[in-house]
Amino acid sequence: MASSEAAERIADFVFDEDELRACSALPEGACAEVPGNVVWHVVSGALAKLGEQLSSPGTVLPWVLGAVGAPTAFLGLLIPIKDGGSLLPQLAVAGRLRAVPRRTPWWAASAAVRALAVAATAGAVAWWTGTAAGIAVLLALLVTSVASGVGSVAYKDVLAKTVPKGARGRVLAWRAALGGVLGVGAGLLLRATVADADERAPFALLLLAGAGALAASAGAFTRVVEAPGATEGGRDAIEEAREGWRFLREDAAFRRFLTARSLLFAVPLATPFLTAYGQRTVDAGLGGLGVFVVATALASSLASLAWGKSADDAAHRTMAVAGLVGAASVVYALVVGALLPEAWRSAWVYAPAFLGVGIAHAGVRLGRKTWLVDAAPDDARPTYVATANTVIGAATVLGAAVGAGAGALGPTAALVTFAALMVVGAGVAAWLPAPGRRVD
C-alpha cells in the first residue's frame, strides 16, 4: 500500500491528475493502476537509456573497436547492424505478439537479453584482440539489436494499454530525461578516470555497468501492471506482412509518416561520422569520449521533457523541428572543423555538435513514437509498429549504403549528405496530419 501511495504521489507531481484519470481509451480496470505504471515506465526506461548510452554504437563502441585493435572497416558496420537488427525482424514478432494477452514480459525479457549481450561485449574487450574481438563485438551488437526490436513492438502496445493518451509523450520524455541525467554522471566519471587509449579495463567496466543498468531495467518493468488484451487474429510472419502491406496501400498518412521517418533516420546515422570528423579535426583523445558521452546524455536530459509536451500537442511538428535542429548541428560541426583556428579547437568546443544531434534525435524519437502510438488503430497497433519498423529497417540499409558512398569521400561528404536528408525529412514531417485525421 505504501509503495502504491508513493507511486501515485510521484505520478501526480509530474502529471496533471485529470490527465492520468482520462482512461476512456484504456482497458477496463486499468485506470487505478495508471500512477504506479507511470512511475515504473519511467524508472525502467531511464535505466534502459543509461545502459544504451554506456554501450552506444555511435560513441562508445567506435572507441572499443579501436582499443581492441579491430579493423577500421568494422566501424562502418555498427549503425547498420544496430538498426537493421532491431527493425527488420519485427513483422514476425508482431504476429506472435497477437497471440499473447500480456506483452510486458516480452519487453522485460528483451532487456535481459540485451544485458547479457552487453556483458558478452565486455568479455570480448577484456580477453580478445584484433579481428576476433571485433567480430565478437559486432555479433553481440546484433543480438542486442534483435532483442531491442522485440522490445520495441511490445513496448508501444504496453504503453498504449497502461498510460492514457495525452500523457504518453511525457512518459517517454521522462524516461529519456532521467536516463540522460544518469548518462551525464557516467560520462563525467569516464572523463575523469580514462586517460590511456591502450587500457581495456575501463571499457570493460563501462560495458558491465551498461549491462547492469539493462538488467535492472528488466526487473523494474516487471512491476508494470498490464491488463490482458485481445489474442484473436494471431498471424505468422507472411500473413502479418500481407496485413502490413494492406495498411501501407490504404493509409496515406501512414505512408507519409514512413517517408518522413526514413529521411529523419539521417539524424542517428550521422553520429558515427560526427565522431570520426571530430577525432580528425579537433584531435580529441580518449578523454574526448567522456565529453561526447556527457554531451549526448545531457541532450537527452535537457530536451526530452520539452519534446514530450510538444509531442503530446503535435507529434508531427516535433519531428519537423527536431530534423532542422539536427541539420543545424551538423553545420556547426563542419564550421568548427573547417573555419575555426586550430588553437581554438577542442573536444569541448566540438561537443555542442553532439549536444545538438542528441537533442534532435530525442525529438525525432519522441515525435515518431507518440504519433504512431496515437494514430494506429487499437486492434492493429502491433502490426502498424512492426510494419513501420520493417520499412525503416530496409531504409536504414539504403541509408547505410548512401553513407558508405559518401564516407568513401570522407566524413565531410557524409555529414553534408545526412544534413540535406534531415532538412527534406523535416519538410515532409511538417505536412503530416495530426493522429486521427486521414489524408487522401
- Among candidate residues 406, 421, 274, 269, the one with its CA nearest the CA of residue 353: 274
Rg, Å, the chain Cα set = 21
Q: Could you tell me the pLDDT band of residue 8, with boundaries at 50, 70 and 90?
A: low
Average pLDDT, the chain: 79
Q: What is the pLDDT of residue 435?
A: 65
**pLDDT tens digit string along 225-238?**
887 765 455 555 56
- Which amino acid is present at 419? A
* Average pLDDT value for residue range 407-411: 69
Task: Give the whole-angstrom CA distance, residue 271 versus residue 358.
Answer: 9
DSSP notation for 251-265: -HHHHHHHHHHHHHT
In order of 46, 262, 296, 322, the CA distances from 53 in angstroms are 11, 23, 8, 20
Q: List the beta strands (DSSP E) in 308-427.
A: none
Determine the pLDDT at residue 322.
Answer: 94
Least confident of 115-119, 312-316, 418-422: 312-316
Sign of CA dihedral 156, 158, 161, 167: negative
Domains of the chain: 2-226+236-430 (1.20.1250.20)
Note the pLDDT tens digit of each residue in 308-323.
778 778 888 999 999 9
* CB contact at 8 A, 31 and 161: no
Give the residue-averaged pLDDT of 122-151. Answer: 92
What percent of the chain shows pLDDT beyond 90? 23
How far separated are the first and last CA of the chain, in Å rounded? 51
pLDDT tens digits along 371-400: 888 877 776 777 787 788 778 777 777 766
pLDDT for 433: 83
pLDDT at residue number 68: 86
296: pLDDT strictly greater than 50: yes
Q: pTM of the entire structure?
A: 0.71
Residue 160 burial (CB count, 10 A): 22
Q: Which of 33, 38, 255 is nearest to 166 (CA)?
A: 38
Per the model's pLDDT, the better-predicted residue between 381 and 265 turns out to be: 265
Residue 300 near residue 244, CB atoms below 8 Å: no
More confident of the two residues 153 and 364: 364
3 Cβ partners below 8 Å, 6+ apart? 36
- Give 42-83 pLDDT, tens digit per residue: 999 999 989 998 898 877 887 788 778 888 767 767 877 887
Separation CA 164–CA 263 (nearest Å): 29
